[in-house]
Structure formats: structure tokens, C-alpha cells
Amino acid sequence: MSDMTSAPAAKLTLPDAQTVTAVTHWTDSLFSFRVSRPASLRFRSGEFVMIGLMGDNGKPLLRAYSIASPSWDEELEFYSIKVPDGPLTSKLQHIKVGDEIILRPKPVGTLVHDALLPGKRMWFLATGTGLAPFASLMRDPETYEKYEQVIMMHTCRTVAELEYGRRLVESLADDPLIGEMVAGKLLYYPTTTREEFHHMGRVTDNLSSGKVFADLGLPPMDPATDRAMVCGSLAFNVDVKAILEGFGLREGANSEPLEYVVEKAFVGDGV
Ligand SMILES: Cc1cc2nc3c(=O)[nH]c(=O)nc-3n(C[C@H](O)[C@H](O)[C@H](O)COP(=O)(O)OP(=O)(O)OC[C@H]3O[C@@H](n4cnc5c(N)ncnc54)[C@H](O)[C@@H]3O)c2cc1C
């Protein structure tokens, strides 16, 4: 006799699934989204995790993503590129509130306060989606407890590509948790390379020419006082490292804290 009990309903929930709670499209090539946070997930602001979707072959399609929200936030935020034929982002860019993504709760990374020696001034240096780890660190009280000044240099091709970062920085002043800590301490220096803007030029050029120091009324970098975190394309990271080394800063790591740390914003040549 056949078993007449009905089969359980197909389980739709993905392994390590988290639910999308918000999606914002900033440009044709950039969007941000928020997801539920696994109760067990602890991370240090600046770290990254693997996230993704189930691929057509039934296997998870995962990529590294910096967590853009601070460690105290009850949800997780991500800031993403849309690569037109990218295996993950060609699909991920279509997620909607209520959809599920896969999130492996194993945070890692070098853009953490623990990987630097104490200092007075912190430089966050980013291009494109390399802003993401600093979106987390700029919202973390520890950043303002540890440093007297925090400088966020972010370069994109166009003004629209800066908008996520601009809004985020603007929102900090009204933030009940860190608004007062941020006031007067955070210096925001966005620049464009292809569209007219009040500040233009690459992070590298503005550092090596001394323009950013003159514009912000700061002394040149000094290994005794200045610390830096770098996140951009491989070429950007190589160029910035050379400039920081020229100022006498040395690359640190979780295992050996020094004066600066670097992380790739993505693998490949990119834009
Ligand atoms: C440590 C780490 C952290 C990362 N954090 C983020 C993040 O916070 N946000 C994010 O959007 N991506 C991030 N990335 C890149 C991410 O892992 C994927 O590469 C990206 O989501 C595209 O996936 P894909 O499968 O669509 O295309 P892929 O096959 O992964 O990439 C295709 C090509 O697109 C270009 N590309 C990929 N990512 C970017 C990017 N972010 N900016 C410009 N060009 C890119 C590269 O040329 C790459 O070869 C990170 C990568 C690393 C290594």
C-alpha cells in the first residue's frame, strides 16, 4: 500500500539564508541593500564575508563583500557594483525586499583597527565600491575614540557615483549614537576624475601633489601620527602603497599592527 501522507512542502529557504530588507539603486552600475543579520554573527567593522545566490547549477554562487554597516547595527548593509555580465551581480542587482540571499557568517579582513598601531589621524582611501568597508568604519564609535581626526578620501568617475558615500557622511551628523563624536573630527574629501566637481583628481595625485593637505589644512603624513586604510583596485592599491611608504608608513596586518593596511575592493582589472 502506498504512503498517502503528503510530502512536506518544498523547502525554499537557502542554506545560510538571510532576508533582504531594503534595496537602493544609486546609478546604473551601483546599488546598496540591507539584509537580516544572523544572530550568531559577530564581526569587526571593516571586515568582509562571502555572500551570493543559488546558481543555475544548484550550487551557491558566492563572492566576497565588505560589510558596509557598523558592527552594532542589527541588520547588515552591502554596497555593490553591477557588472553587466558578472556571474553574481547580473542576478544580484534584481533582488527585492523579501528575497533571500546566501551569507556565510565567517567575517575576515585586514581593514580593522586591530591591525594598526595607535595614532592621531586616520586616512580612509578608497575608489568606487572600495568605500564599503569605510561605510562601516565611519559609523563605528571606536573610530572616533581612537583618532582625533578621520579623513575619508573617495574617488569615482562621476558625481552620481559618489552619492551613496555623500549621503552616508551627511547622515552621521544626525546619528544619535555617534553624531556628537563625529562633529569636527570627520573630514570628507570626495573627488571625481571624469566630471566637473569642486574637488577633482585621483587620490594618488591629491596625496603626492600635497593638494589634499593644503585643502584640509593638514600637515603631510607622518608615521608618528598618521594611519591609513586603503581599498580599491589592484592598480590603485599598488600606487597608494608606494605613496604611503614614501611618507614612511609601513604595511601592517592583524598579526603585526603597523601604520597602514590594504584590501582589494575586487579581483581583476575592473574599471
Ligand atoms: C575582499 C573583497 C571585498 C569585496 N567587497 C565588495 C563590495 O563590498 N562590493 C562590491 O561590489 N564588490 C566587492 N568585491 C568584489 C566582489 O567579490 C565581486 O567581484 C563582484 O560582486 C562582482 O561579482 P560578479 O560575479 O558579478 O563578477 P566577477 O566575475 O566577480 O567580476 C567580473 C569583473 O568585474 C570587475 N569587478 C568586480 N567587482 C568590481 C567592483 N566592486 N568594482 C569595480 N569592478 C568590479 C572586475 O574586473 C572583475 O574581473 C570584493 C572583492 C574582494 C576580494
**Residue type at position 66:** S
pLDDT at 177: 87
pLDDT at 8: 46
Q: How far apart are alpha carbons 37 and 67 in whole angstroms?
A: 11
Task: Report how far ligand 1's centroid is from the alpha carbon of 6 (Å).
Answer: 44
pLDDT at 12: 57
By most ligand atoms within 8 Å of CB, the mutation choice from 25, 81, 91 for ligand 1 is 81
Q: 127 by DSSP, 3-state: which?
A: strand
- Residue whose Cα lies nearest atom 11 of ligand 1: it is 80
pLDDT at 271: 40
**Exposed e or buried b per residue across 10-36, where buried means at least 16 C-beta atoms within 10 angstroms of its C-beta:** eeeeeebbbebeebeebeebbbbbbbb
Of 3.40.50.300, 1.25.40.10, 1.10.1240.10, 2.40.30.10, the CATH number of 2-108 is 2.40.30.10
CA-65 nearest atom, ligand 1: 5
Q: How far apart are alpha carbons 95 and 160 in whole angstroms?
A: 22
CA-270 nearest atom, ligand 1: 47
Task: Report how far ligand 1's centroid is from the alpha carbon of 71 (Å).
Answer: 22
Q: How far apart are alpha carbons 172 and 181 in whole angstroms?
A: 9
DSSP string, 216-236: HT-PPP-TTTEEEEEEE-HHH
209 contacts: CB under 8 Å, gap ≥ 6 = none
Q: Going residue by residue through the chain (271 aa), what tens digit of pLDDT does each one get?
A: 344 444 444 445 777 999 999 999 999 999 999 999 999 999 999 999 999 999 989 899 999 999 999 999 999 999 999 999 999 999 999 999 999 999 999 999 999 999 999 999 999 999 999 999 999 999 999 999 999 999 999 999 999 999 999 999 999 999 988 999 999 999 999 999 999 999 999 999 999 999 999 999 999 999 999 999 999 999 999 999 999 999 999 999 999 999 999 999 999 764 4
pLDDT at 15: 75
152 contacts: CB under 8 Å, gap ≥ 6 = 124, 126, 134, 138, 165, 169, 186, 187, 188, 189, 190
pTM for this structure?
A: 0.94
Could you tell me which of 144, 147, 151 has the C-alpha nearest to residue 179?
144
Q: Is the CB of 234 under 6 A from ligand 1?
A: no
Q: Is the CB of 264 under 6 A from ligand 1?
A: yes
pLDDT at 269: 61
User: What pairing do the DSSP bridges indicate for beta strands 48-54 and 100-108?
Assistant: antiparallel
Rounded to a whole number of angstroms, the distance between the first and last alpha carbons of the chain is 64
- Residue whose Cα lies nearest atom 10 of ligand 1: it is 80
> What's the topology of domain 113-262?
Rossmann fold (3.40.50)
Domain with CATH 3.40.50.80 in the chain: 113-262
Domain with CATH 2.40.30.10 in the chain: 2-108
CA-66 nearest atom, ligand 1: 8
CA-85 nearest atom, ligand 1: 26
Q: Is the CB of 48 under 6 A from ligand 1?
A: yes
